[in-house]
Amino acid sequence: MSVVAKTLDIIEAILKNKDEVGLADLAMMTELNRTTVHRIVSVLVERGYLYQKNKGGKYSLGLKFMQYSNPNNIIISLKDKALPYMQNLCEEISETVNMAILDGLEAVGIAAIAAERILLVMPGAVNKFPLHCTAIGKILLANMPDEKIENLIKIIGLRAYTDNTITDTLQFIKEIKAIRRDGIAYDDEEYSLGIRSAAAPIRDDGRNVIAAISFVGPTVRISKSKLIQLGTALKNCASRISFSLGYK
């Protein structure tokens, strides 16, 4: 039997099972020895076609398969992988954690975990964010080519939501360059007074930014120095999610 045939047998076994499958079960279902199965699934995990949450754990379909099927499946798969890390971050920093993707001219939230605090910040029913004055929007913008950013600015403008909103194009481009350099974006009361947030990118195995993760909280708890301090934990969380998607 060729390697291609063995690979397809493994993939079909996972598709038929419709759940996570362990190495021993895959070997039994395909009638292949465990060494062969392990060698093949290791390559599939590395390429993003299969996903393994923990080393030595079970296997499920990876994000790469989702990209070639229903776009909604991409979001479902992304949330499944990201939510445990988001929960850990929320517990670590005790602030609300959000995840968003780019949708046209806006950032659209796809997941949020609220901190157990008396005073907390949660997205509204219409979970959409402007790109130019929110941390989660700016991090998505920063990973676009300069020409596309300039075109978007012309279309959406740099509307002032507060006195802190950056409305000058040259200053905004300078901000984007700083975000690219540091790998993190900040919103210092630019979208809403009394609210600060930070965001970091989530990348897939092709190094593409497919989403962003952020934390948000009131200024009475998050000073400017604490905003930067918590940013380290945020970037670590984003990296873990990216690695789980095959990013290296």
Tell whether 161 and 207 lie within a shared domain. Answer: yes
Under 8 Å CB-to-CB from 94, ≥6 apart: which residues? 115, 116, 117
Would 133 be classed as within a structural domain?
yes
Greater confidence (176 vs 116) lies with: 176
Task: Say whether pLDDT at 126 is over 60.
Answer: no
> How much is the pLDDT for 80?
83
pLDDT in tens, 197-216: 999 999 987 788 889 999 99
Tell whether 19 and 128 lie within a shared domain. Answer: no
Q: Using N-to-C axis directions, what is the helix angle for 135-142 and 169-182, rounded to 10°?
A: 80
pLDDT in tens, 2-57: 888 888 888 888 887 766 888 888 888 888 998 998 999 888 887 777 877 667 78
DSSP count for the chain of H helices, then E strands: 9, 8
Domain with 18, as residue range(s), is 3-61
> How much is the pLDDT for 92?
95
Over range 112-127, report the average pLDDT.
67
Looking at residue 223, which CATH number applies to its domain? 3.30.450.40
Tell whether 18 and 91 lie within a shared domain. Answer: no
Tell whether 56 and 132 lie within a shared domain. Answer: no
Greater confidence (54 vs 156) lies with: 156
> How much is the pLDDT for 78?
85
The string of DSSP letters for 182-235 reads HT-EEEESSSSTTEEEEEEEEE-TTS-EEEEEEEEEETTT--HHHHHHHHHHHH
Domain end point (choices 61, 80, 98) = 61
Under 8 Å CB-to-CB from 139, ≥6 apart: which residues? 179, 184, 185, 199, 200, 201, 209, 212, 214
Under 8 Å CB-to-CB from 11, ≥6 apart: which residues? 44, 49
pLDDT in tens, 89-105: 999 999 999 999 888 78
Greater confidence (67 vs 232) lies with: 232
Our CA dihedral for 204, 62, 60, 201, rounded to 10 degrees, sits at 20
Whole-number average pLDDT of the chain: 86
Over range 216-238, report the average pLDDT.
94
**CA angle, residues 59, 84, 71, in degrees to nearest 5:** 65
Tell whether 116 and 28 lie within a shared domain. Answer: no
**Largest pairwise CA distance in the chain:** 68
Contact 132, 172 (CB under 8 A): yes
Tell whether 41 and 119 lie within a shared domain. Answer: no
> How much is the pLDDT for 125?
44
Under 8 Å CB-to-CB from 81, ≥6 apart: which residues? 51, 53, 63, 241, 244, 245
Tell whether 57 and 153 lie within a shared domain. Answer: no
Would 66 be classed as within a structural domain?
no
Greater confidence (122 vs 167) lies with: 167
Percent of residues, the chain, with pLDDT higher than 90:
47
Tell whether 79 and 55 lie within a shared domain. Answer: no
Q: How confident is the model at residue 138 (pLDDT cuts 50, 70, 90)?
A: very high
Would 215 be classed as within a structural domain?
yes
Greater confidence (60 vs 36) lies with: 36
Tell whether 103 and 211 lie within a shared domain. Answer: yes
Greater confidence (220 vs 20) lies with: 220
If one counts every other C-beta atom within 10 angstroms of the C-beta of residue 10, the result is 23
Under 8 Å CB-to-CB from 188, ≥6 apart: which residues? 164, 196, 224, 227
Greater confidence (103 vs 1) lies with: 103
Tell whether 111 and 187 lie within a shared domain. Answer: yes
Tell whether 228 and 194 lie within a shared domain. Answer: yes
Domain end point (choices 38, 61, 84) = 61
Task: Say whether pLDDT at 121 is over 80.
Answer: no
Domain count, the chain: 2
> How much is the pLDDT for 68?
55
Percent of residues, the chain, with pLDDT higher than 70:
89
Contact 112, 122 (CB under 8 A): yes
Tell whether 11 and 100 lie within a shared domain. Answer: no
Looking at residue 14, which CATH number applies to its domain? 1.10.10.10
